[in-house]
Amino acid sequence: MKVAIVGAGVAGLSIGWRLRQSGAEVTVLDRAQPARAATWASAGMISVAGEMEDEVSDEATFAKRSSGLWPDFAKDIEAASGRKIAYRTDGALLVARTDAAWDRFRNRVDGVPLDPAAARLKDPMLAPDIKGALWSPDDAQVDNRALGDALAVAFVKAGGELVPNEAVARLENWDGRMSSIVTPFRHIEADAYVLAAGAWTGAFDSLPREASPPVRPVKGEMIAVAPPGGSGLPQHVIRDDRVYLVPRHDRLLIGATVSEAGFDTSVTDAAAADLSARAISLLPGLSDWNVVERWSGLRPGSPDSLPILGESAVQNLFIASGQYRNGILFAPAIAEHLSRLILKQTAEISAFSPRRFD
C-alpha cells in the first residue's frame, strides 16, 4: 500500500512512521522543515488531569489511552532514532487560586488534593495566597522539539520518504475519490492520503466544501525563563487556571496565551508581559529570572474543540487534525488509530469523524 501524507508535524510523522512499520510505502511532505510549526512551539505536556479534568467523554478516553501509550512510544522513538526526547513522568501540581477551584479539586478522583501547607512542601516557591492544589502523579512531559526531530529520523531510518520544503498546492479528487496530490514539482498518486497540516488543514481550496475540515488557527505565545545563578528549577509541571510552568532542561517554559488571530505568528511584548505577570503571581520568586526566549505557534482548532480523525467526505482522504491544545498528548493514539483506520483494522470513533460537520 502506498500512502502520501501532507504535513510533517508530530501527527503526520508519527502516523507515517507507524504505517511504515506496518509495511506501507509512505511519503511525508512538508512545505518547510519537519516539525517546525505547532509541534516545535508546544510546551510538550502530556497532561490528562490538567486538560481533561476528570470528565467522562470520548476525548478523555482517547487522552487516557494515549497517555498510557506514551512510555512505550517514547522508548520506541529513542531506540529507532538514537535520539533522546526527555520523556519524564514527574507528575504535575495543579494549583487552586480560588475557593471554587479548591472545592473542585477536593472532589476529583484523578489526583491527590493537598492543602496549602502540603502543596508548599512540594513546591516551596508557591505564592502565599493559594487555596490548595491537586497532585497529579500521572502527568508527564516530553521535549517536543527533540521529539519532532527524533520522529523525522525514526521515520527515515524505517525507510519512509521525507520531503521537506515542498508545499502541497492541490488535493486532486475525481468522482468523490482522491486521485493525487500536487506540488510545484510533481503529482503524487497513492492508495491513501492523510491531511495532517496542523492549523493549515482547512486551507486547501481544491477540496469540495463538505470534505474540507473546518480547522482554524488558534495562536499561542510562550516565553522561557532561566534562573539567576544558583537557583534551582521546579521538579515538575506547576499550573493554575491562567498559566503553566514546565521545567525543561535548564529553563522554565511559561505558557500560553490563547487568541484568535488568523495565521499571525508575531511575538508580542504584551503577551510576554502578561505571561510573566501570571507566572510571578503563582511563583513570586520568578520575578528576577531572565527571559531567554519568546515564541508563538498555531494550534489546529475545530468547531467543537474535538480532534478530527478519520476518512473525509472524499474517499481515501484521511484527516488527522483538530488536536487543539493536545496534539503532543494525543500523538501515539492518533498514530495508532489513523494507521489502523487506513489499513482497515479498526472502526472510526464517531465523535471524531471528519464527516460530523456535514
Name the residues that contact ligand FAD, by CB under 6 A: 6-12, 29-32, 36-39, 41-45, 167-168, 196-200, 220, 222, 255-256, 297, 299-300, 321, 323, 325-329
Shortest distance (Å) from residue 229 CB to ligand FAD: 28
Closer residue to ligand FAD in complex, CB, 46/132: 46
Cα distance between residue 144 and residue 155, in whole Å: 16
Question: Is 268 strand, coil or helix?
Answer: coil
Cα distance between residue 30 and residue 238, in whole Å: 34
The three cell numbers locating residue 66: 494515549
Shortest distance (Å) from residue 346 CB to ligand FAD: 20
Shortest distance (Å) from residue 78 CB to ligand FAD: 19
Alpha helices in the chain (DSSP H): 10-21, 38-41, 48-52, 58-81, 99-106, 116-122, 144-157, 269-282, 331-342
Closer residue to ligand FAD in complex, CB, 132/234: 234
Closer residue to ligand FAD in complex, CB, 120/166: 166
What are 220's strand-pairing partners? 297
Shortest distance (Å) from residue 30 CB to ligand FAD: 4
Shortest distance (Å) from residue 259 CB to ligand FAD: 11
| Pick from 291, 228, 201: nearest CA to 254 | 291
Cα distance between residue 324 and residue 217, in whole Å: 9
Tell me the angle at which helices 10-21 and 144-157 cross, rounded to the nearest 10 degrees: 30
The three cell numbers locating residue 303: 468547531
Cα distance between residue 232 and residue 228, in whole Å: 9
Burial category of 240 from C-beta neighbours within 10 Å (exposed 0-12, middle 13-18, buried 19 and up): buried
Closer residue to ligand FAD in complex, CB, 222/314: 222
Closer residue to ligand FAD in complex, CB, 200/318: 200
Tell me the angle at which helices 331-342 and 10-21 cross, rounded to the nearest 10 degrees: 50
Question: Is 134 strand, coil or helix?
Answer: strand
The three cell numbers locating residue 321: 487534525
Shortest distance (Å) from residue 316 CB to ligand FAD: 18
Shortest distance (Å) from residue 325 CB to ligand FAD: 5
Which residue has 463538505 as its cell numbers? 210
Cα distance between residue 202 and residue 214, in whole Å: 6
Closer residue to ligand FAD in complex, CB, 76/166: 166
CB 182 within 8 A of CB 48: no
Question: Is 214 strand, coil or helix?
Answer: coil
Shortest distance (Å) from residue 89 CB to ligand FAD: 15
Residue 256, preceding bond cis, omega within 30 degrees?
yes
Closer residue to ligand FAD in complex, CB, 31/88: 31
Closer residue to ligand FAD in complex, CB, 21/302: 302
Closer residue to ligand FAD in complex, CB, 81/201: 201
Shortest distance (Å) from residue 287 CB to ligand FAD: 23
